[in-house]
Structure 1
Amino acid sequence: MNAIELNNLDISYGDTKVVHGINLAIAEGESFALVGESGSGKSTILRAIAGLAPDWTGAISIMGKPRSHGVDHRVSRQVQMVFQDPYGSLHPRKTIDAALTEPLAIHGIGNRGERVEAMLTAVGLDQRFRFRFPHQLSGGQRQRVAIARALMLEPKVMLLDEPTSALDVSVQAEILNLLKRLRREQGLTFLLVTHNLPVVSFLCDRLAVMKQGRVVEIADVAQLKAGDLKQPYSRELLAATEGG
């Protein structure tokens, strides 16, 4: 079964169409990347899947079922998103415990204390962090909390919007290793947005290259590693990464 299917997806902000005719099928358990320069529509696609960009046409299906526009609690149980900025995505005046129990309260799920303790352990955080505030944590620790919060509802799909780009290089590796382990242990499907092709090589199975709101190429990561991308724009992206 496909975890995510996008059929002829168009997304607009006001009168401006920013994503054009996207067709993607991402298998359950797959890790798939959207790559391309800033403004190519990558994050907008994630936001539409998550219900944060309501002005879209076409079809979005999650685990074989179409999603509606706007808030869809059935979808939010199955799809969660991790944002680029871990500090901006956590309420500064709420403890880590409050951040992690909030989705459980919204969905009426019990055993909250046990679930919080288990999830902190799963993301490699000591229990002493539970009643601290975001400003008392490092950037890497905050991103671990953001990942833990996304996993509290036991989703099938994780949407990852540049999840390591705001972190120091040494911490990036820790978070990428954590994501890889969680995917394996929990059977997660990843849809990752990034401009960092080495991250794609490490974490993903396939990738779609986007330019100006359109997919110009879909390739296996083996092709990326071999430098065997077909489209000139894809090769430009690869060359720019290698040159940097």
Structure 2
Amino acid sequence: MSAISLKNLDISYGPRQVVYGVDLEVAEGESFALVGESGSGKSTVLKSIVGLAPDWTGEIRVFGKDRGHGTDRSFSRTCQMVFQDPYGSLHPRKTVDTVLSEPLAVHGLSGRDARVGEVLSLVGLDQRFRYRFPHQLSGGQRQRVAIARALTLEPKVLLLDEPTSALDVSVQAEILNLLKRLRRDQGLTYLLVTHNLPVVSFMCDRMAVMNKGRIVEIAPASTLHTGDFTDDYTRHLYAASGGA
């Protein structure tokens, strides 16, 4: 079964169309990358799936269920998003405990205390971080909290929007290794947005290349080792990265 299915997806911001005719299938358990330069529409595709870019036409389906426009509480039990900036995505006046407890409270789930401890452990943080505020954490620790928040409701799909680009280089590898382990251990499906081709090579099974709002090529991530791409823009992107 496809975890994510996009068909003829057009996305606009007001009168300006930014994504054109995207067709994409992400298999259950797959790690799939959307790559391209800034402004190519990658993050907008993720936002449309999660309900943050509601002005779209076409079809969005997650595990066979049609995705409506706007927010959908039941959908959040299946799909969650991890944002690029771990500081901006966390409320500065709320403790880690509050941040992680809120999704459970909104959905009326019991066992909140135990679940908060569990997701902290999943992302490699011990209980002493539980009552700290975001400004008391390092960038890597904040992103671990953001990942823990995304995991709280036990979703099957994570949308990852440049999850390491705001972090120090020394921390990026730790977060990528964490995400790779979580995918394996939790049976997750990833749709990852990045401009970093070595990240795709490390994390993903397949990739779609976007240019000016359109997908121009879909290829196995293993193609990054050979450079055997068919589209001129993809070859240019690959050459500019120095290969992966």
TM-score (norm 2): 0.99
CA deviation after TM superposition for structure 1 residue 226, in Å? 1.4
Q: Match of 2:24? A: 24
Q: Match of 1:171? A: 171
Q: Deviations over 1:2-27 (max 9, x none)?
A: 00000000000011100000000000
Give the SS at the match of 2:20: strand
Partners of 1:201 and 1:75 in 2: CA distance: 30
Q: Match of 1:227? A: 227
CA deviation after TM superposition for structure 1 residue 243, in Å? 7.4
Contact 2:96 2:145 in 1 (8 A): yes
CA deviation after TM superposition for structure 1 residue 202, in Å? 0.3
Runs of 4+ that moved beyond 2 A = none
Task: Within 5 Å, give how 1:1-244 maps onto structure 2.
Answer: 1-242=1-242
CA deviation after TM superposition for structure 1 residue 187, in Å? 0.5
Unmatched segments (≥5 aa) in structure 2? none
Q: Deviations over 1:113-134 (max 9, x none)?
A: 1001011111000110000000
Partners of 2:43 and 2:4 in 1: CA distance: 15
More displaced stretch, 92-101 vs 224-233: 224-233
Give the SS at the match of 1:6: strand
Aligned residues: 244
Partners of 2:74 and 2:97 in 1: CA distance: 24
Partners of 2:243 and 2:117 in 1: CA distance: 44
* Residue identity in the other structure for 2:109: I
* Residue identity in the other structure for 2:159: L
CA deviation after TM superposition for structure 1 residue 174, in Å? 0.1
Q: Deviations over 1:195-241 (max 9, x none)?
A: 00000000000000000000000000111221111111101111111
CA deviation after TM superposition for structure 1 residue 75, in Å? 1.1
Partners of 1:101 and 1:135 in 2: CA distance: 19
Partners of 2:115 and 2:68 in 1: CA distance: 29
TM-score (norm 1): 0.99
Partners of 2:161 and 2:225 in 1: CA distance: 22
* Residue identity in the other structure for 1:48: S
* Residue identity in the other structure for 1:18: V
Partners of 2:74 and 2:56 in 1: CA distance: 19
Cα 1:240–1:77 shift into 2, 3 Å: same
